[in-house]
């Protein structure tokens, strides 16, 4: 009994080792597996939900594998030369239908709750419009009359500490602990505005406004990429969001307002 328990703990240990505890980062790292560090309430819930699902799925895999091994060993031809003619068992069939239904129902409730949380923006304190173009982003802060383009930095302009293919010339700046509403659309084809650490990914569709939101609790720089195949330079229109204190955000607003408003897209 003791050794059986040990074996079980070992197998669950492997499952949890593979769970997202390992890869904590707000940007992609070499050999990273699983999620970046969650910094918004939505991403917290995605992270927890993923772990719950992994536990349920892992348990099902173990249970089914154990049953298979049991049947293979217990009913092998050498031990059972005359197999049982049983073909139906009503109770058993009801049980193995009902249990998966209950498992699915158990998963459905938190899943729908999470979808609703991602979909409905709580009272927004800041609105940013993200317009996808082939192949860069245009950002507007409608309440502050700011509009600028954000282009990927070419390799020869990357400075130390910056990431190749992920850094841009104009970052999106947002204050921390603020409900930020992202309204996204496109000027040409379908793009997708996505930042993994925020748990945000929304398609930018021409002629349509899609909405999503985030509330970053930690200052830092967060990286994302266009996540809808949009043409030859799809991989070269990254998204960089800098989360700063309210004071620094106000300074940034002032500097942006006094700067000449140059943009070509959207």
Residue reference for tokens 């390992």: 22
Does position 152 interact with Cu ion (CB under 5 A)? The reply is no
Does position 202 interact with Cu ion (CB under 5 A)? The reply is no
> Distance between terminal CA atoms of the chain?
67
- Nearer Cβ to Cu ion, position 38 or 224? 224
In the complex, the smallest distance separating the C-beta of residue 261 from Cu ion, rounded to whole angstroms, is 23
| 213-242 footprint of Cu ion as x/- string (CB under 5 A) | -------------x---x------------
Stretch that binds Cu ion, among 56-64, 96-104, 171-179, 189-197 (CB under 5 A): 189-197
In the complex, the smallest distance separating the C-beta of residue 30 from Cu ion, rounded to whole angstroms, is 25
- Nearer Cβ to Cu ion, position 182 or 226? 226
In the complex, the smallest distance separating the C-beta of residue 10 from Cu ion, rounded to whole angstroms, is 45
In the complex, the smallest distance separating the C-beta of residue 91 from Cu ion, rounded to whole angstroms, is 55
Edge-first strand listing for the sheet containing 210-214: 146-150, 136-141, 126-133, 180-186, 210-214
Spatial distance between the Cα atoms of 60 and 72, rounded to a whole number of angstroms: 18
Show the 3-state SS of 130-160. EEEECCEEEEEECCCCEEEEECECCHHHCCC
Spatial distance between the Cα atoms of 162 and 153, rounded to a whole number of angstroms: 10
In the complex, the smallest distance separating the C-beta of residue 110 from Cu ion, rounded to whole angstroms, is 31
Whether 238 contacts 166, CB under 8 Å: yes
In the complex, the smallest distance separating the C-beta of residue 185 from Cu ion, rounded to whole angstroms, is 12
Binding residues for Cu ion, total number by CB under 5 A: 3
Does position 191 interact with Cu ion (CB under 5 A)? The reply is yes
- Angstrom CA distances, 241 to 19, 31, 205, stand at 26, 23, 21
Residue 146: both structure tokens together:
């700011």
- Nearer Cβ to Cu ion, position 189 or 253? 189
Q: Which residues bind Cu ion (CB under 5 A)?
A: 191, 226, 230
């Amino acid at each position: 009994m003791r050794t059986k328990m040990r074996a079980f703990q070992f197998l669950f240990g492997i499952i949890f080792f593979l769970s997202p505890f390992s890869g904590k980062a707000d940007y992609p790292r070499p050999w990273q597996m699983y999620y970046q560090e969650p910094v918004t309430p939505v991403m917290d819930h995605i992270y927890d939900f993923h772990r719950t699902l992994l536990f349920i799925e892992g348990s099902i895999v173990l249970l089914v594998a154990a049953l298979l091994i049991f049947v293979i060993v217990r009913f092998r031809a050498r031990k059972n030369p005359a197999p049982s003619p049983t073909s139906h068992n009503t109770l058993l069939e009801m049980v193995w239908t009902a249990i998966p239904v209950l498992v699915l129902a158990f998963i459905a409730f938190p899943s729908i709750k999470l979808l609703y949380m991602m979909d409905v923006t709580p009272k927004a304190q800041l609105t940013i419009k993200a317009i996808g173009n082939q192949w860069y982003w245009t950002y507007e802060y409608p309440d502050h009359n700011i509009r600028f383009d954000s282009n990927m930095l070419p390799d020869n302009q990357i400075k130390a500490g910056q990431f190749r293919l992920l850094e841009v010339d104009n970052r999106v700046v947002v204050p921390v602990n603020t409900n930020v509403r992202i309204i996204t659309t496109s000027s040409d084809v379908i793009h997708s505005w996505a930042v993994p650490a925020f748990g945000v990914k929304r398609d930018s569709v021409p002629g349509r406004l899609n909405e999503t939101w985030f509330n970053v609790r930690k200052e830092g720089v967060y990286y994302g990429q266009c996540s809808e195949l949009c043409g030859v330079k799809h991989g070269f229109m990254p998204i960089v969001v800098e989360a700063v204190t309210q004071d620094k955000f106000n300074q940034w607003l002032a500097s942006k307002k006094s700067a000449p408003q140059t943009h070509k897209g959207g």
